[in-house]
Amino acid sequence: MTFRRAFNLICAFAFAAASLATSSAMASTVVQVTITNQSPTGGVYITPLWAGFHDGSFDSYNGGLSSQPGVERVAEDGDVSQISSDFLGGYTYIDNSGASPVSATILSSQSGADRVDGAIANGAPIAPGEVASSTFNVDVSGANRYFSYASMILPSSDYWIGNGSPTAHDLSSLAGAAAGTTISFDIGLPGQVNDAGTEVNDFATSPGNPLFGIPAGQSAPNQGMDENGVNANVLTPYSDFLNTPGNFLSDLSELKFNNSALYPNGIANVTITVVPEPASASLLAFALPLLGLLRRRR
């Protein structure tokens, strides 16, 4: 085979790869979701972040409505399996179709097959200063335009962070965007952490205690006493906890996540970044070395 013919074939191959990337990008975008724990040294940990991509039809909570089972499992145990199952089953937790919102597990207007979700963590839990990320292939201009998240705060009985508005984080600006384009926002800002109201606040049954040098609490999921309350913003962190060890709060003041001096940018940051399509990137990576080899042999 002549150099020119081989060169033309490889160029055509590379062009096909680029065309594949362009046509694929029209339907989907590969994004990397990165979660960074911004707590100060000695501050709170977060459990693996549940991330869900949908068309605006999944509403995890509204204000003071009672928490649903999926939210309860996240808030009490850091367990995302229930919320993921409901999400991919095509359900939502809040019914806004009536005169006032109703907390319920009901079918949404979107099929679960059109949703994408996953848990983000390098290991559980995510310590202050640690970073975790995962990659997703999503339709940011349609079926997966909106981003939802949920994560438990440690230590606690049922403190958690999540977005109450299903359309709070719109990813449509990433459609067709160049690799490296980002959307970034802080979560768990002072005054925005929730108490799910599903479990009595008690360090005797609180998970994550050993991370902070206090006696072990929960040893298995859902060990705390049911509270049967409603979701509410945490006003004074840990002030109403039972069995608070000794000088725990004075010794570990870094846990007071409503202190804007310690947590000026909230508990964590979420950054969603466009990355190259894996298929087109691998095709180009294969073609370019061949082109170089042919040039050397000419």
Token pair for 224: 């705390």
pLDDT tens digit sequence for 4-43: 454 343 344 344 444 444 444 446 999 999 999 999 999 9
For the chain, the maximum distance between any two Cα atoms, rounded to a whole number of angstroms, is 82
Q: Decide if 231 contacts 158 (C-beta within 8 A).
A: no
What is the pLDDT of the chain when averaged over all its residues?
A: 87
What integer pLDDT is reported at residue 294 of this predicted model? 43
pLDDT tens digit sequence for 121-161: 977 899 999 999 999 999 999 999 999 999 999 999 999 99
| Strand 146-154 to 49-54 pairing | antiparallel
Question: Collapsing DSSP states into helix, strand and coil, what is residue 73?
Answer: helix
Q: What end-to-end distance do the CA atoms of the chain give, in Å?
A: 11
Residues counted in the chain: 298
What integer pLDDT is reported at residue 2 of this predicted model? 54
Task: Report domain extents, the chain.
Answer: 31-275
Q: Where are the beta strands (DSSP E) in 108-190?
A: 116-120, 131-138, 146-154, 159-162, 182-187
248/92 Cα distance (integer angstroms): 38
What integer pLDDT is reported at residue 246 of this predicted model? 86
Q: Fold for 31-275, please state it.
A: Immunoglobulin-like (2.60.40)
204/92 Cα distance (integer angstroms): 33
Pick from 237, 241, 246, 236: nearest CA to 215:
246
Lowest mean pLDDT among 75-79, 96-100, 149-153, 238-242: 96-100
Pick from 257, 253, 255: nearest CA to 235:
257
Structural element, H or E, at residue 37? strand 29-37
What integer pLDDT is reported at residue 247 of this predicted model? 81
Helix axes 278-297, 3-27, angle to 10 degrees: 170
